[in-house]
Amino acid sequence: METNKKSNLNRIFTRNMLRHFIEGKTDNTYSAVVRRYTIEPEKKNNKELISEIYCELKRNYRNEYFYKNTLLNKLLLGVHSVNTTTALTEVSIAKSKADFVLINGKAIVYEIKTELDNLERLSSQIDDYYKVFDHVVVVTYEKNLQQLKKILYNLDKPVGIYVLRRNSQLKTIRKPEKYIKDLDKETIFKLLRKSEYEEIIFQHYGCLPKVTQFKYYAVCKKMFLHMPIEESYLSVLKQLKKRMQIEKEEFAKVPYELKFLSYFMELSKKEYQELEAFLNCQYGGV
C-alpha cells in the first residue's frame, strides 16, 4: 500500500502530469495525492497544494525529480543564469544517460545517486561520461558518502562529489577537475544532431561534403574525426549550449517546485499562461 502511495507521488512531477495541469484536465492521481498529503485542500489553490506535495518529497521521499529540481534551481538559476548557461537532461552517452548537464564555458555532468538508488553501475557510467565531457560530479546523500569515496578511489579520476543535505543545501565535498584523457571523438559525434555537426564542419572546413545522401553521414563523421580534439570539443559545447530555447520571462514566474519540468518541456508562452491559470485556480478535485 505504501509503495502505491509513493508511486503516486512520483507521478505528480512528470511531463504527463504537467501537461494535464496545462490542459486543465481532472486527474485522479493528483486528486488522490492531494487528499493524502495536504491539509484542507478545498481552501487552497493548486500552487499551494503542489508546494505541500513537494514538501513531502523533501521530508520523506527524495526521489530523482527532487534531486534534479534542486540542481536546476540551485546551480542553473542560483549560481548561473539561463542567459549564460544551458542545462540538459537524460543525455545518451554510450551505454549511459547523464542525469543533468550544465554548459557554459565548460560542461559538467552531474550523476545523481539518491536514497532510492544503488551504486552498481556508477563506475561504468562515469567512464562513459568522460568519453564526451571533461568534468563529472556525483551528487548523493550524506550516508552514501563513504561507499561513494571507495568507488571513486578505485576509479582514480578527478570526479567531484556534492552532497544534498537534509536541509536541501548542496555541500561540495570535492570539486571536479578537468580530465580529457578519455574524450572520444566517435562518441562525441554520436551526441550531435545533423544541424549541429553540419555547422561544426562548415565552420572548420568552410564547406559541407558534396556526396550522395547514402555517404553523407559517414563523410561528415570522417571530417569531424579529423579535427583536433581541442577544437571539436569546444565547437560541440557551443552547439549543445544552443539546444534549449525557453520563454525566459514566463519561465521566471514558474514556482520552484515545477522549474525542472517546465524548463525541459520548452513550453510556449501560451502554455506558461495556461499553467499559471491552473496554479492560481482554487482546488476543485474529486
Asked if 102 and 75 count as a contact pair (C-beta separation under 8 A), the reply is yes
Q: How many domains does the chain have?
A: 3
Q: Which of 174, 199, 215 is the last residue of a domain?
A: 174
pLDDT range class, residue 1, cuts 50, 70, 90: very low
In terms of Cα–Cα distance, which of 240, 201, 263 is closest to 73?
263
pLDDT at residue 285 in the model: 57
Whether 75 is covered by a domain: the verdict is no
Pairwise pLDDT comparison (152 vs 5), residue with the higher score: 152
Q: Which of 129, 146, 174 is the last residue of a domain?
A: 174
pLDDT at residue 238 in the model: 96
In terms of Cα–Cα distance, which of 237, 220, 224 is closest to 185?
224
Whether 68 is covered by a domain: the verdict is no
Q: Read off the CATH number of the domain in which 120 is found.
A: 3.40.1350.60
Give the Cα separation of 272 and 14 in Å (integer): 16
Question: Residue 261 is part of which domain span?
Answer: 2-61+247-280
pLDDT at residue 5 in the model: 55
Whether 286 is covered by a domain: the verdict is no
Whether 235 is covered by a domain: the verdict is yes
Q: Mark residue 176 as left, alpha or beta (left: phi above 0; alpha: psi -120 to 50; beta: remaining).
A: beta
- Shared-domain flag, residues 90 and 166: yes
pLDDT tens sequence across 37-53? 999 999 999 999 999 99
pLDDT at position 253 over 80: yes
Q: Mark residue 183 as left, alpha or beta (left: phi above 0; alpha: psi -120 to 50; beta: remaining).
A: beta
pLDDT tens sequence across 123-150? 999 999 999 999 999 999 999 999 999 9
Give the Cα separation of 112 and 102 in Å (integer): 14
Whether 264 is covered by a domain: the verdict is yes
Give the Cα separation of 142 and 9 in Å (integer): 23
pLDDT at residue 200 in the model: 98
Whether 285 is covered by a domain: the verdict is no
- Shared-domain flag, residues 97 and 148: yes
CA distances from 169 to 82, 117, 126, 142 (A): 21, 20, 24, 11
- Shared-domain flag, residues 260 and 216: no
Q: Tell me the pLDDT of the chain averaged across its residues.
A: 94
pLDDT at position 158 over 90: yes
The one-character DSSP state at 282 is B
DSSP code per residue over 140-205 = E-GGGHHHHHHHHHHHTS--EEEEE-TTS-EEEEE------TT--HHHHHHH--HHHHHHHHHHHH
Q: Which of 119, 154, 174 is the last residue of a domain?
A: 174
pLDDT range class, residue 6, cuts 50, 70, 90: confident
